[in-house]
Amino acid sequence: IHPSVASVKERSGICKQLGSFFSCLGGRLWPSWLWVWPSVNMPHTVLSSGPLVSPLQLDLSNTAVLHQMRRDQVTDTCRASSAMSRKRRVLTPNDLKHLVVDEDHELIYCYVPKVACTNWKRLMMVLTGRGKYSDPMEIPANEAHVSANLKTLNQYSIPEINHRLKSYMKFLFVREPFERLVSAYRNKFTQKYNTSFHKRYGTKIIKRQRKNATQEALRKGDDVKFEEFVAYLIDPHTQREEPFNEHWQTVYSLCHPCHIHYDLVGKYETLEEDSNYVLQLAGVGSYLKFPTYAKSTRTTDEMTTEFFQNISSEHQTQLYEVYKLDFLMFNYSVPSYLKLE
């Protein structure tokens, strides 16, 4: 272990101080037997850091309580969901590909597309030293999404996975589910440069959901309507055919919060505060901050309301059922604009 990184023993002391605030030494809500590929050794340099900082030292007791409440909400929802379901699924290597590992600072970050994941991947590249950058905003957005630039949990052996789940600080960021969905739609289906998405998904959606589609629309797939996108998502054939794309997959399915006990649940609505809190706990907050950026293009609640105006109450109800666990687990209320049946 690098001398600047807090040891597991030191983390244990922090956990005892904080009581139930951290699950540092208890990585999962329930046992998960994982089958993984052999680990991949990737060269890297170490970014220096101070020891893990206790929230007590930061005098952020209100923030600590807030995150405890968020974790309790996840736990309660998982218990209720488990009681209602007879299914006990086993995690596979593919389930762990969204969990980015920083060994130097003992962090695991589950990235969720459309929840500031580009900037968080930039931060993780700086922290792991796998890039040539010290300023996260110097990293081009496309480079942040190159898989070789970050190591994910599915690249480790079973003992290595369990050790990291038990001793590393685990965190994720979430967003109001329908706002995230509209953001994904706007980015992937209304931008002319996203031709790969138009070909891969747009053509399929139009073929399945649009009567009397023109040959040009079937060929290009670049004018998918939001109503068609929703119809595609709630169509039972869609999920039987293949899993959702990560940009509209549920957080529950991407990050498995009922199998992996996250220490911190950050929210898009309090993005900068929560992000900098994570960095402070990791011991790097004195010199590394979450990048701020213009908010003019962000999908807002008002935009989301407009997009849902033309969605029938039947389809709204079916769509809510698809994302219901995300609403409940992360304490998002049913949107006032919905007309649920």
More confident position, 138 or 13: 138
Q: How many Å separate Cα 283 from the centre of its chain?
A: 22
Three-state secondary-structure class, residue 126: helix
> What's the mean pLDDT in 194-222?
96
- Quote the pLDDT of residue 8: 35
- Residue 91: per-residue pLDDT: 84
> What whole-number percentage of the chain has pLDDT above 70?
79
CA 78 to CA 205: how far, in whole Å?
32
The mean pLDDT value for 200-223 works out to: 96
- Residue-wise pLDDT tens digits, 79-122: 998 866 756 677 887 899 999 999 999 999 999 999 999 999 99
pLDDT digits (tens, 9 = 90+) for 316-339: 999 999 999 999 999 999 999 999
Under 8 Å between Cβ of 252 and 112: no
Average pLDDT of the segment spanning 251-272: 96
Query: Residue 55's closest CA among 262, 292, 289, 285?
Result: 285
In this structure, are residues 153 and 164 in contact, taking their beta carbons and an 8 Å threshold? yes
- Domain ranges in the chain are 8-175+248-281, 178-239+298-329
Return the residue matching tokens 């969720």: 112
Confidence of residue 226 (pLDDT cuts 50, 70, 90): very high
Please give the mean pLDDT across all residues of the chain.
Answer: 84
Give per-residue pLDDT as tens, 174-188: 999 999 999 999 999
| Average pLDDT of the residues in 68-76 | 97
pLDDT per position as a tens digit, 281-319: 999 999 899 988 766 678 899 999 999 999 999 999 999
Question: What is the pTM assigned to this prediction?
Answer: 0.82
pLDDT of 48 over the 80 cut: no
The strands making up 99-102's β-sheet, listed across from edge to edge, are 151-152, 99-102, 107-110, 169-174, 264-267
